């Protein structure tokens, strides 16, 4: 079999594989026959075409759905030799709740890159690579007390007027609605004496901020 032109696909979840009524109802799409015990629902578009979907555990966004057709198409891609990866900023608990209902993937990355699951199991080798920058994954310690470069950077941002919007065990994110945006991070990211590996991690955060800032 010839190798496919596309070798790998990296997909987000919310708004890509997973869709929510609060988004699609604005476009004339409706959901019916929702059965939370069987995790199934029917989604019908404005033209009257219906698809059976997998109904995910409810989150703050409401009832998320993944169409059975999406799952079938991803399976076809993988059978043809295309690697398929899911990449999301969702936290551990959300990722693990959703996994049984998502298309099978070669790997699933959660918490903005701090956790990687291969065949449903946490990749311990990947975790070890993050230790010098972020510290242990399940440590119970306030971010302000953590000694690693990421948390020093977190404290720096807070001290200079840009407190993180969300702090996960191994990552943090800024509010993209603030005027600081990427320019704020850019001005301050080099003020810490970061080792090369830590600087690489911080550069990834900067790229993320640039992509999301207004």
Buried b / exposed e along 117-141 (16+ C-beta atoms within 10 A): beeeeebeebbeebeebbbebeeee
Report the C-alpha gap between 98 and 95 in whole angstroms. 5
Which range, of 15-24, 182-191, 204-213, averages the lowest pLDDT?
A: 204-213
pLDDT greater than 90 at residue 211: no
Q: What is the DSSP letter of 103?
A: P
- pLDDT at position 58, please? 82
- pLDDT at position 168, please? 65
In tens, the pLDDT along 120-146 reads 888 988 888 888 888 887 777 777 788
Report the C-alpha gap between 70 and 42 in whole angstroms. 14
Residue 8's SS3 state is strand
Report the C-alpha gap between 45 and 77 in whole angstroms. 25
Q: Where are the domains of the chain?
A: 8-122, 131-212
How would you list the strands of the sheet with 115-118, edge to edge?
A: 8-11, 83-87, 107-110, 115-118, 121-122
Most confident of 27-41, 110-124, 152-166, 172-186: 27-41
Q: Which residues 6+ apart lie within 8 Å of 49 measured at CB?
A: none
Q: Which residues 6+ apart lie within 8 Å of 100 measured at CB?
A: none
In tens, the pLDDT along 25-81 reads 888 999 999 898 899 999 999 899 999 999 998 877 888 999 999 999 999 999 999
Q: Which residues 6+ apart lie within 8 Å of 44 measured at CB?
A: 29, 30, 31, 32, 50, 51
């Amino acid at each position: 079999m010839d190798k496919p032109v596309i070798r790998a696909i990296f997909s987000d979840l919310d708004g890509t594989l997973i869709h929510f009524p609060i988004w699609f109802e604005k476009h004339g799409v409706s959901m019916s026959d929702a059965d939370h015990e069987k995790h199934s629902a029917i989604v019908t578009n404005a033209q009257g075409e219906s698809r059976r979907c997998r109904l995910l555990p409810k989150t703050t966004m409401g009832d998320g759905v993944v169409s059975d057709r999406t799952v079938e198409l991803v399976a076809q891609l993988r059978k043809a030799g295309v690697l398929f990866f899911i990449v999301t900023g969702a936290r551990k608990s959300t990722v693990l709740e959703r996994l049984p209902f998502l298309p099978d993937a070669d790997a699933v990355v959660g918490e903005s890159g701090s956790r990687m699951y291969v065949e449903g199991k946490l990749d311990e080798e990947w975790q070890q690579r993050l230790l010098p920058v972020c510290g242990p994954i399940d440590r119970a310690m306030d971010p302000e007390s953590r000694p690693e470069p990421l948390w020093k950077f977190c404290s720096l941002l807070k001290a200079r007027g840009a407190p993180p919007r969300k702090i996960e065990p191994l990552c943090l994110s800024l509010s993209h609605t603030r005027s600081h945006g990427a320019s704020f991070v850019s001005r301050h990211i080099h003020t810490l004496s970061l080792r090369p590996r830590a600087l690489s991690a911080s550069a990834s955060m900067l790229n993320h901020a640039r992509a999301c800032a207004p």
